[in-house]
Structure formats: C-alpha cells, structure tokens
Structure 1
C-alpha cells in the first residue's frame, strides 16, 4: 500500500471513525484469506462491500477475478474516487450497501457468486445489518458465499439474523499477523 493510500485511509478514519471502523487498512494476509474464502477466480462474479482503498480488491484481482466480474460498492466519495482511478476497468459504485440489490440490477447483474464485505457489520444496528445481509443473499447464486471479516471472537453477523435467515457460519481463517488480528468468516444458506 502506498503512502498516499495510507494517508487517505487515516484521513477518512478521522472524519468518520464509526464508518471506517479501523485505523489501518486490512493487511495482505487478511486480504488473501478473504479472496480464498470467496473462491476467487476467473469465472466468479464478486461484489465487494466497503472496499476502502482497495487492499481486498487487489487480492481478488490477484486471485484471478476479472475486473469486469468485480463490482465494488463504496459509500465514502473519496474512497470511491480513489478506487475508480486505481481500477478503471472494474465497476465502482458510490452507494449504500443496503441498496445492493437495486445497484446490481441497474448494472445488469442478475446474481453473483460471492459478496465480500469489509463493512463493520457487527457494529451496525441490527436493522441495517439485516438489510445488508438480506440484500446480499437475494443476489447470491444458490451456492454463493457471503464473506466477512471481524476483529472479534464471534461470528460477525448477529446470531438472531443467522437463525432467521437459516445461514451456516464458518470461521474460514484466523489471521494473527493482521493489525489487529482478525478472523474471516463465510456464510452460506442452509439447504
């Protein structure tokens, strides 16, 4: 990550610490684990929520996701502008993740294979968290994955929401060398 990207990240965190939720971007090991958890590859359509300065984006592309199969939804205008410059052939949408279904339909995506989230879901009110997760699962292919990381010890989706939506959470990886240490979780629909 360049010095300019670190500076941008810290500036955005200072402006809105609850929305950015971390003082530092995700480390390389965490980003690689997120891409692996999403089964990133050339034939996969991936939606990334809250990409920030794009470290997970870079990992997804490095794992073979084609830029035309990557759609990023970023609420922060400075991050969205940065991503559009860094990844001109991918789709960057300045928008709200709760409107994911409408955004994907507007861009001609009937579904996707994975939704990879860098949003601080667990810190969000349950109603907002539910709208994001429901929207993601409404657009995921039947075998699709929702991938989320957390700094906490438990699944980063509210247990009541997991139960109501009949999701199967699985801790995919624990990344001790991230600052702070993080876990990557995957969520699938139960049959």
Structure 2
C-alpha cells in the first residue's frame, strides 16, 4: 500500500469511522484469504462490497478474477475515484450495498458467483444488515458464496438472520498476522 493510499484511508476513517470501521486497511494475508474463499477464477463473476482503497480488489485480480467479471460497489466518493483510477478495467459503482440487486441489474449482470465484503456488517443495525445480506443472496447463483471478514470471534452476521435465511456459516480462515487479527467467514444457502 502506498503512502497516498494509507493517507486516503485514514482521512476517510476520520470523517466516517462507523462506515470505514477500521483505522487500517486489510493486510495482504487477509486479502489473499478473502480471494481464496471466493474461489477466484477468470469465468467467475465477483462483486466486492466496500472495497475502500482496493487491497482485496488487488488480491481478487491477482488470484484470477477477470477484470470484466469484477464489480466494485463503494459508497464513499473519494474511494470510488481512487478505485476507478487504480483499476480502470473493472466496473466501479458509487452505490449503497443495500441496493446490490438493482446495481447488478443496472450493470446488465444476471447474478454472480461470489460476493466479497469488507463492510462492518456486525456493527450495522439489524435492519440494515438484513437488507445487505438479503440483497446478497438475491443475486448469488444457487451455489454462490458470500465472503465476509470480521475482527470478532463469532460469525459476522446476526444468528437470527442466519437462521431465518437458512444460511450455512463456516469460518474459512483465521489471520493472526492481520492488524487486528481477523477471521474470514463464508456463507452459503442450505439446500
């Protein structure tokens, strides 16, 4: 990460600490774990929610997602501008993750294979968290995967929401060398 990217991240965190939710971007090991959990391959369509300065985006591309199959949804205008410059071959949308289904339709996508999220889901009010997660599973293909990381010890989706939506949570990996240490979780629909 460049000094300019670190400065941008900290500036955005100072302006909106609840939206950015971390004082430092995801570390390289966490980013690679997120990409592995998404099952990256050139033909897989992947949506990233809350890419920030783009460290997970870079890992997704490095792990094999074709740029034309990567859609980035970011709410912060400064991050959108940065991502558009850094990854012009991807599709970057300035939008709200609760509107994921509409955003995909507007981009001509009929679904996706994976959604990778850097959003602070666990810190969101339950109704907002529910809109994001329901939206994610409305666009995922039947065998699709939702990948989310958390700094806490438990699944980053409310347990009642997991039950109501019939999701199967799985801790994919624990990254001790991230600052702070983080867990990567995957969620799939139960058959």
TM-score (norm 1): 1.00
> Matched residues in 2 for 1:12 and 1:41: separation?
31
Q: Does 1:141 pair with 2:141?
A: yes
1:19 CA drift (Å): 0.3
Q: Within 5 Å, give how 1:1-191 maps onto structure 2.
A: 1-191=1-191
Residue deviations 1:32-68 (CA, integer Å, cap 9, x gap): 0000000011111000000000000000000010110
Cα deviations by residue, 1:78-124 (Å, 9 ceiling, x for unpaired): 00100000010100000000000000000000000000000000000
SS of the residue 1:7 aligns to: helix
How many Å separate the matches in 2 of 1:22 and 1:41?
A: 29
* Separation (CA, whole Å) in 1 of partners of 2:71 and 2:40: 13
Aligned-partner SS, 2:40: coil
Distance 2:91 2:63 in 1: 18
Alpha-carbon distance between aligned partners in 2 of 1:124 and 1:42, rounded to the nearest angstrom? 32
RMSD over aligned CA atoms reads 0.3
Kindly tell me the number of residue pairs found equivalent between the two proteins. 191
Structure 1 residue ranges, 4+ long, deviating more than 6 angstroms after superposition? none
CA distance in 2, matches of 1:128, 1:189: 20
CA distance in 2 between counterparts of 1:105 and 1:43 reads 19
Q: Which runs of 5+ in 2 are unaligned?
A: none
Per-residue Cα deviation, 1:117-154 (whole angstroms, up to 9, x for no partner): 00000000000000000000000000000000000000
Q: Gaps spanning 5+ residues in structure 1: where?
A: none
TM-score normalized by the length of structure 2 = 1.00
Q: Distance in 1 between matches of 2:17 and 2:176?
A: 23
